A and B are shown apart, each in its own frame.
Chain A
Amino acid sequence: MEEQDELTKEFLIESNENLTQLDQDFVELEQRPDDKDLLSSVFRTTHTIKGTCGFLGFSTLEAIAHGAENILSQLREGERILTPALTTLLLEAFDVIREILAVIETTERESSQQYIDLRERLKAACDSNEETVSSSTGAPGDESAAELSESDGGVETPEVSAPLPVESSAVDKEQARPAAPAAKSSLAESNIRVRVDLLDNLMNLVGELVLARNQILQFSESQQDTNVTAASQRLNLITTELQANVMKTRMQPIRLVWNNFPRVVRDLGRSVGKNIELQMEGAETELDKTIIEAIKDPLTHLVRNSCDHGIESTAVRTGAGKSGKGVVLLRAYHEGGQVNIEISDDGGGIDPAKLKSKALSKGLVRTEELERMGEREILNLIFMAGFSTAEKITNVSGRGVGMDVVRTNIEKIGGSVDVQSQLGQGTTIKIKIPLTLAIIPALIVRCGTERFAIPQVSLLELVRIGVGRGQQIESISGAPVYRLRGKLLPLVYLGEILALKNDEDQSQEPSVNIVVLQTDDKTFGLVVDSVSDTAEIVVKPLSKLLKGLSWYAGATIMGDGYVALILDVMGVALRGQIMGIGHSHAHVAHDESVSEISDRQAVLIFRSGSDKRLAVPLSVVDRLEEFPVERIESSGGRKVVQYRDRILPLLALNEVLDSGAVDATDSEKVQVVVFSEGERQVGAIVDEVLDIVEDSVGVRSPSSRRGIVGSAVIDGGVTDFVDLRYLISQVDEGWIADGGRVTRVMVAEGSRFSRGVLRNYLEMAGCEVLEAADSAGVLKILRLHRVDVLLASLDLPGMDVYELMRQIRTDLGLYEMRMIALSSESKDGSSPAAEDDPFDDYQDELDRESMLQSVTQLTRAIESRQAAQVEVLTT
């Protein structure tokens, strides 16, 4: 009995494999009906199945296989030609065989169904040709007798060459074929069949070995004994190789998934009346077995999609000047540590307009959001749940499976999916999947007292914002962002989303560590306390109890035995609600990427008297306050208010600007914009603060009006920029230590546009600005004019910038002047360390806030030094 079961099991496995191969062969056969080799192999396979069926006593199965085999025999002998109708019939027979095999698998016997109709049709097809055949192979009755005698030895077909115990091994089919044609893969590899759970065990053990190896390495580092270190080194090498090899055993070619597709495409094409050909490239590309399982369904859906919705009908195609036959191309290749799978079709492409209207009508997205989307984002709408652009949902691909499920499944295994399309030309879906799930390289980070691992595959870069540069983190609509090379990077604080206790007060942290991560085309920065090494970690799944925590991808055991949680990058992003922010700021980032140097600034807009729109750069604003009228006092003829243990002088802006009577909406309270310059503060009373806007400060027309620097179009409205310096000078002339002297800054930058942008910015902050386009210009101006601070671009045309600086210091003797170097990359944390470095500071050209800060600081340094000198002189 036992033996019988084993035989049956073997039979089932082999037959299923054979049937899959038959599917493929048949589709090929349709393209090349005369291919003798194909015909032979198909016949042989069917013959084998039939033989074994008989041996095992599955008579219905045998009868059907026999019917098919008869027809195939005629084909093989060249007595008839394969027609599409015949192919369909034969494929139907094989499908039925599969059905019966499935029944046998569960019940160990055939079902009671006899499939009489099919058998008769097979016989009829065979007979209908018999009449036209001159030399027959004998009456059907004789034939079956002859076949039966063959079937006694049916088990010993070419497939199994040696009488080995059935469960241990079977020589690969390829090797057994007598004259393997060159067209088919004729590798003489020796293969062995191994149970999957054995391989899984092996993989687990290797994982444990890797962990133990990590621990030994850690201990051996503190060992002096060279024998120990040598042995552990050897262990290290061997483990690494073992790991690599075991991983390879689990690698299977993607061909295994693609096997079914030719048949799928063929059947689909016929059922919808389209002419579609499937091409496959890179079928030998290997993937880990677990991944193969996971992508089977998504790929099937995508292929069906291409056939159903992508490729147009023959009529439409020829009408559009395309060839009548549509092509679906499957491509797989390794790249960058990942497997790339592409499904392309040369069909009609995706119509973005239709997508948009569909998305709107289904309420999946709002008009404003749509307007802000780039083309890529619009195409990615198809992955949203509840979306289907097909005019009618066929029962082929529209069974409610949906592209959203495809994307979810792919992302579950750590992959990503993207769609590109050209209307009228075709669509390509690109899938990227990591090579293995089990052992991955990861970055270890610390947050609070805990350690976490971040899969390196999602890691883009590390950014460290140095001491005192915390201001580089800006805030847009309440969300923290960092400007990385001109693009806005939304930030997520790991400590916040995990509600971790801090080791020390966060605000005292000298430096901010940002891990820049990417998930599904969204980039964001994860702020952590510190970054440790990278390590190869074994991914262990979390218990079901923790499955709902989508921001953890698993756990691992570090070299020192510590259990570290592995972060799921997508889950972390969602938890930090990055996706929303990333979306709405997509267009901001978009614009940024168009011109590296953009002149966007944050601007505070308010009104006062008859001035309906006034503005100051947000960077000079300290606070916005509101005081009850009663709190305003008089002191020395000036309005003041007690504010945070100090006296804050107040200015009525409308008086300063001479803009007529106040029109405050609230007579009991006043709105005050507080500016500060170092220790000094002044509050400007305005009628109403209107908005804070980030916009490009475009063309600016100068103003002759006192107190107004100029006007520009901000956020769609003409806005006057208030001259802050003038404002302050109105309060108390003595407030400006240099007696009304304005900081004079020279901007030395080759690009006229950049110069203009910087000039605008500095002038609006109250500086006087001179411009130079190259080194020669710098020197020329410096010979004639006093300059307080020089802002020089490191890419300044003319002589080398450092040489220029040297000349300024020594030849011109300008030791007082402060110099700031402007670079177009963010130099985080780097400040001049060298004694002979001529620059006082380095600033990012695009980070104007920080640059202004630096200018102010340096100016103040000059002022206080001069004040001290004055003191010395006068005492």
Chain B
Amino acid sequence: MNHTSSESANEHEQQLTTFTVAGLFFGIDVREVQEVLRYQEMTLVPQSGSVIAGLINLRGEIVTAIDMRRRLGLKDREDGVLPLNVVVRSDDGAISLLVDEIGDVIGVGRDSFEQPPDSIDKEQRDLLDGVYKLDGRLLLALSTAKVLDLSPTSS
């Protein structure tokens, strides 16, 4: 996958791997991302709830896949549209986030960082660290820890 940085590569404080889910533009700290992959066959985990999409065999490691559409409370993907994998590392092993499209690795500066505006749904806002105001669009910075916390007391 392409890992090109954007224009001014030097002064940026953070590098984010970006992807799209239901038209929304998200980013995760590149240091937490193990790899990105095209669609992988999954084994369903019956009765695991709607957020867990299934299990993937990643070079011999069993990776749990979370459907980001469900996790963010967004509409389901259309039939036949296959998601892509953003595999993140956690102390629980590798977890794959199922997204619609993969974007570039973007460098962002601290000065463009803001708190998420109220126009964003609560369900998504709770999973964000903040947003970056880029020219023309909003980059929603996801907190990996919050995304992976599926306990009932969290969002």
Contact = CB atoms under 8 A, between A and B. Distances in A.
Nearest to B148: A545
Contact of B62 (A450, A499, A500, A557): A557
A557 B48 contact: no
B78 interface: no
Q: Indicate the member of B46, B47, B93, B148 with the most A CB atoms within 10 Å.
A: B46
Contacts of B56: 563
A499 B46 contact: yes
Given A549-B45, A557-B60, 13 more contacts: A208-B60, A450-B43, A450-B44, A499-B46, A544-B92, A545-B52, A549-B47, A555-B43, A562-B43, A563-B43, A563-B62, A564-B43, A565-B43
Given A543-B92, A563-B55, A552 B60 contact: no
B45 A552 contact: yes
A544 B64 CA distance: 10
Contacts of B43: 450, 555, 562-565
The 6 closest A-B pairs by CB, nearest first: A498-B46, A563-B43, A543-B64, A563-B55, A544-B92, A540-B62
A197 to B, nearest CB: 16
Given A499-B47, A564-B43, A545 B55 contact: no
A546 interface: yes
B48 A555 contact: no
Interface in A530-567: 540, 542-546, 549, 551-552, 555, 557, 561-565
B112 interface: no
A211 interface: yes
Contacts of A500: 46
A211 B45 CA distance: 21
A239 B150 CA distance: 39
Contacts of A542: 62, 64
21 contacts: A211-B60, A499-B47, A543-B64, A543-B93, A543-B95, A545-B64, A545-B92, A546-B52, A546-B64, A555-B43, A555-B55, A555-B62, A557-B57, A557-B62, A562-B43, A563-B43, A563-B55, A563-B56, A563-B62, A564-B43, A565-B43
B141 to A, nearest CB: 22
Interface in B12-52: 42-48, 52
B131 interface: no
Interface in B80-106: 92-93, 95
B127 interface: no
Contacts of B92: 543-545
Nearest to A552: B45
Contacts of A552: 45
A541 to B, nearest CB: 9
Contacts of B95: 543, 545
A546 B45 contact: yes
B48 A546 contact: yes
B48 A549 contact: yes
B45 to A, nearest CB: 6
Contacts of A564: 43
Nearest to A212: B60
B146 to A, nearest CB: 13
B66 interface: yes
Contacts of B64: 542-543, 545-546
Given A211-B60, A563-B55, A545 B66 contact: yes
Interface residues of B, number: 20
A545 B53 CA distance: 12
A545 B52 CA distance: 8
B57 to A, nearest CB: 5
A545 B48 CA distance: 9
A450 B48 CA distance: 15
B113 to A, nearest CB: 29
Contacts of B45: 546, 549, 552, 565
A716 B28 CA distance: 72
A390 to B, nearest CB: 37
Nearest to B93: A543
Nearest to B92: A544
Contact of B46 (A208, A450, A545, A563): A450
A555 B46 CA distance: 13
Contacts of A497: 47
A106 to B, nearest CB: 24
Contacts of B44: 450
B123 to A, nearest CB: 18
Interface string B126-147: 0000000000000000000000
A564 B43 CA distance: 7
Contact of B57 (A212, A546, A562): A562
Nearest to A447: B46
B152 to A, nearest CB: 10
Interface in A751-791: none
A544 B148 CA distance: 10
Contacts of B60: 208, 211-212, 557
A564 B62 CA distance: 10
Interface in A656-689: none
B52 to A, nearest CB: 6
Contacts of B42: 563
A550 to B, nearest CB: 11
A565 B57 CA distance: 12
A565 B54 CA distance: 10
A565 B92 CA distance: 18
Q: Indicate the member of B52, B55, B56, B64 with the most A CB atoms within 10 Å.
A: B55
A450 B64 CA distance: 17
A450 B44 CA distance: 8
Q: Indicate the member of B57, B95, B148 with the most A CB atoms within 10 Å.
A: B57
A418 B13 CA distance: 61
Contacts of A211: 60
B81 to A, nearest CB: 20
A498 B43 CA distance: 14
A755 B92 CA distance: 65
A562 B55 CA distance: 10
Contacts of A543: 64, 92-93, 95
Given A498-B47, A546-B48, A552-B45, A561 B93 contact: no
A862 to B, nearest CB: 49
A355 to B, nearest CB: 36
A543 B48 CA distance: 12
A546 B150 CA distance: 10
A552 B46 CA distance: 10
Contacts of B66: 545
A549 B48 CA distance: 7
A278 to B, nearest CB: 41
Contacts of A562: 43, 57
Nearest to A551: B47
Interface string A497-525: 11110000000000000000000000000
Interface string B49-79: 0001001110010101010000000000000
Nearest to A207: B60
Nearest to B152: A548
Contacts of B47: 497-499, 549, 551
Nearest to B61: A540
A564 B64 CA distance: 13
Contacts of A208: 60
A804 B95 CA distance: 70
Given A562-B43, A563-B57, A545 B150 contact: yes
Contacts of A549: 45, 47-48
Contacts of B57: 557, 561-563
Contacts of A544: 92
A597 to B, nearest CB: 41
A563 B65 CA distance: 13
Q: Indicate the member of B43, B52, B93 with the most A CB atoms within 10 Å.
A: B43
A737 B47 CA distance: 54
A543 B148 CA distance: 11
Interface string A592-636: 000000000000000000000000000000000000000000000
B53 to A, nearest CB: 11
Nearest to A558: B57
